[in-house]
A and B are shown apart, each in its own frame.
Chain A
């Protein structure tokens, strides 16, 4: 049965949308990522206008991050103060990103910017992850222990002014780095329709030097705040959120995520990271092809509001 999406103004088959949500949910449960970086391109390939795809995916990430965040909250594996500071930067970044999104949409460079940011970000992150997980696999086979966190180490970033104590993270650092990271991820969320987990998590571990046990909960907290804000801002300034599309994606997504979590328990961390790295790189390469291969049709048409 086809369903009509009132905002995208197109009909889609509900099973396909539900299946897409479930498949991405499964992967997000498996790898512990939001999955926006897969869902947005999938929706665009299916023919959903890129503006609607980006804006609606944000609400899907909110939903899939909630259950993870609840689990972490019960375990108290969450630095609320850090989460709030990062969300503060994230909200400003979201406002900036949604504004930029509107400007790009009007100037016709929307698709280019979305594709190019995906290629750059996914290519970089995928490459780093591939390199690292290959190294970790080799180290495990060689019997060497994986490198742990060396506490007490500070980067020059931590010495910036306006210092604050983050008790759960056992850190006394400047608030500027978390705010800047939050801003950057908030802007990415609005432009690319991603939660940004695969940017925040490494940033928390390697730049902020947060202990890994609070990283997951804190990043999920920040992702929920930012994607919720993105959804509301995209709805108010770009009218691009499709609630019917969101409903089907989320129902598929939350079920898929639970199955993914179960499947993930049977795989080792290094193997998971290697698979995720390959997946991220595959999406980046597919989008890169779209940018550099001569398109079959050079012209595109957009209807402008009268």
Chain B
């Protein structure tokens, strides 16, 4: 969110006409993802169209779905005597909890590195807003990205933008089972000759619903009753089993 705002400010600063966003329209297959009891991850589709397509110049589309920012602690294990334990740590603030990018071509072919960095485009170009660490933070940042990629929470598909016609495109965005809840943003960037000429952002909400939501709220709003309920449930089931199995004998 913040980064997009910064990006758009940069857009204005570099003298690109604001009306440029009329070149691009985009939307989502759904504006909410509901985490239900059998939720195992899903796919959402970001689609869009480029209008007033000019033949002059090279057009590229980059689609990013960004999760809410989070503060993350990265810890590094070290051997102390014979035991491996967490020693050094770095707190990285303001990195997205989820990040998926699809583009028409590899990012390095689309724009210069400093342009990509300015908009936070590309997993490798994500920079935390603040780092609290006594050590060189770079290995910690890379470890965080590696972890997120393994968990399917950060991803990049260089040829993930599928063109259905010269102007109409769509992107399948995988949303794994472990996504954090919150407000997401689907951002679509239109590049021409290495410059952002248009950008659009659409919000997307991911949240628990139904019973899961109620249980989560119950656990956080009245933890005492929640804990007592869990204990009563345990006691009831324990008692029930002793009654049921006694009759069977």
Nearest 7 CB-CB pairings of A with B: A66-B238, A235-B227, A67-B242, A299-B143, A254-B241, A232-B227, A63-B238
Report B69-101 residues with CB < 8 Å from chain A CB. 70-79, 82-86, 89, 91, 97
A300 touches B91 (CB 8 A): no
| Contacts across chains A and B counted by CB atoms under 8 Å | 185
Number of interface residues of A (CB under 8 A): 60
A9 touches B82 (CB 8 A): no
Report B191-249 residues with CB < 8 Å from chain A CB. 208, 212-213, 215-216, 219-220, 223-224, 226-231, 233-235, 237-242, 245
B72 touches A235 (CB 8 A): no
A304 to B230, CA, bound (A): 26
27 contacts between A and B (CB under 8 A): A2-B38, A3-B38, A4-B177, A4-B212, A6-B215, A11-B40, A59-B230, A59-B231, A59-B233, A66-B239, A70-B239, A112-B85, A224-B235, A236-B223, A243-B230, A244-B215, A254-B238, A254-B241, A291-B84, A295-B84, A297-B143, A298-B78, A299-B147, A300-B74, A300-B86, A300-B147, A301-B72
Binds B, one of A128-136, A172-180, A245-253: A245-253
Besides A228-B234, A292-B82, A299-B76, 6 more A-B contacts (Cβ < 8 Å) are: A11-B38, A108-B75, A224-B235, A243-B233, A297-B146, A299-B140
A306 touches B227 (CB 8 A): no
A10: which of B82, B89, B177, B228 is its contact (CB, 8 Å)? B177
Interface flag for A302 (CB, 8 Å)? yes
B212 touches A65 (CB 8 A): no
B238 touches A306 (CB 8 A): no
Q: Tell which of B75, B231, B245 has the most Cβ of chain A within 10 Å.
A: B231
A234 to B147, CA, bound (A): 28
Interface flag for B108 (CB, 8 Å)? no
